[in-house]
């Protein structure tokens, strides 16, 4: 894939998963880009204490503390990667809802694609073999034809 089409795809996928939390108005931002960054980070990080909830949607005190921390760091100008590194070094990869791509998570991220390719290989094989079968298909004799229509009832449905 060329660079442009890769980034287009990334943009497409990102926009498909674009988080939808509105600004928590008690946080104010200088730009929409900053606000988007804040939303993305709080949406994609897990509340360490809750039963499977992200930072944006949790009422727990620790979630509030971490939202504050992320807000401050975004305002300071830290990059997303730096903030993610900050959080995961303190709370473990557990806090990241988007698993890092490591040796251990390779099959997680690429497994479905591999399965899809395998699936299409199967489709191809099925199509090829059914094409081959086309030539050997037998046709019904008139008697068999009549018997068939009787068995299936009068109406075509």
Partner 1 sequence: MNKRLKLFIPVAIFLMMAGFLLFGLTRDPNVVPSALEGRPLPDFTRPSLFADQGEFSKADFLGDILLVNIWGSWCIPCHVEHPFFLELTENEPDITLLGLSYDDSMAEDRLFLEERGNPFDVNMVDLGGSLRIDLGVTGAPETFLVDKNGMILYRHIGVINNTIWNETFMPLLEQIR
Partner 2 sequence: MIPELGNFALVLALSLSLLLGVLPMLGVYRNNHLLMSLSRPLCAGIWVFMLVSFGCLAHAFLTDDFSVAYVARNSNTLLPEIYKFTAVWGGHEGSLLLWVLMVASWTYAVSLFSRNLPLDILARVLSVMGIISVSFLLFMLLTSNPFDRLMLNTPSEGTDLNPLLQDFGLIVHPPFLYMGYVGFSVAYSFAIAALLTGKLDGAWARWTRPWTNLAWAFLTIGIALGSWWAYYELGWGGWWFWDPTENVAFMPWLVGTALIHSLAVTEKRGVFKSWTVLLAIAAFSLSLLGTFIIRSGLITSVHAFAVDPERGMVLLTILLIVIGASLFLYALRAPVVKGTASYTITSREVFLLINNILLVVSTAGILLGTLYPLIHEAINGESNMVSVGPPYFNTIFLPLMALLTVFLTIGSIARWKNTSVDYLKNQLFKVAIASVVLGIIVPLAVTGEVNVAIMLAVALALWIVLGIARDIWEKTSNKVSRINGLKSLSLSYYGMQIAHLGMAVIILGICLTSHYSIERDVRLAPGESIEIGKYEFVFEGVTRQPGPNYEADAGEVSVLRNGEAYLTLYPEKRSYFATGSVQTEADIDVGFFRDLFAALGDPRADGAWVVRLHVKPFVFWIWLGAFLMAGGGVTAILDKRYRVRQQRTEHVESVSQAGDLPLPENA
Q: Is 124 in the site for partner 1 (CB under 8 A)?
A: no
Give residues with Cβ within 8 angstroms of 71, minimum separation 6.
27, 38
Smallest distance, partner 1 to C-beta of residue 91, A: 5
| Cβ nearer to partner 1, comparing 49 with 147 | 49
Determine phi and psi for 54, rounding to 5 degrees.
-90, 170
| Cβ nearer to partner 1, comparing 66 with 74 | 66
Alpha carbon distance 54, 46 (integer Å): 4
Q: Is 65 in the site for partner 1 (CB under 8 A)?
A: yes
Q: Tell me the torsion sign for CA atoms 125, 127, 131, 136.
A: positive
CA angle at 47 for the pair 44 and 48, rounded to the nearest 5°: 125
Interface residues with partner 2 (CB under 8 A) are 8, 11-13, 15-18, 20-26, 43-44, 46, 50-54, 57, 92-100, 104-105, 107-109, 111-112, 115-116, 119-120, 122-123, 126-127, 129-131, 133-134, 137, 140, 148, 151-153, 156-157
């Amino acid at each position: 894939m060329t660079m442009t089409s890769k980034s287009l795809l990334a943009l497409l996928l990102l926009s498909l998963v674009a988080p939808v939390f509105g600004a928590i108005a008690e946080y104010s931002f200088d730009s929409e880009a900053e606000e988007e960054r804040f939303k993305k980070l709080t949406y994609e990080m897990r509340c360490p204490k809750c039963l499977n909830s992200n930072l944006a949607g949790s009422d727990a005190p620790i979630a509030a503390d971490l939202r504050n921390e992320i807000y401050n760091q975004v305002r300071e100008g830290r990059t997303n990667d730096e903030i993610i590194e900050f959080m995961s070094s303190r709370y473990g990869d557990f806090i990241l809802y988007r698993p890092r791509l490591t040796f251990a998570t390779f099959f997680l991220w690429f497994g479905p694609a591999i399965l899809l390719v395998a699936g299409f290989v199967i489709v191809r094989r099925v199509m090829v073999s059914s094409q081959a079968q086309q030539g050997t298909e037998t046709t019904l004799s008139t008697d068999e034809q009549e018997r068939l229509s009787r068995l299936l009832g009068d109406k075509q449905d």
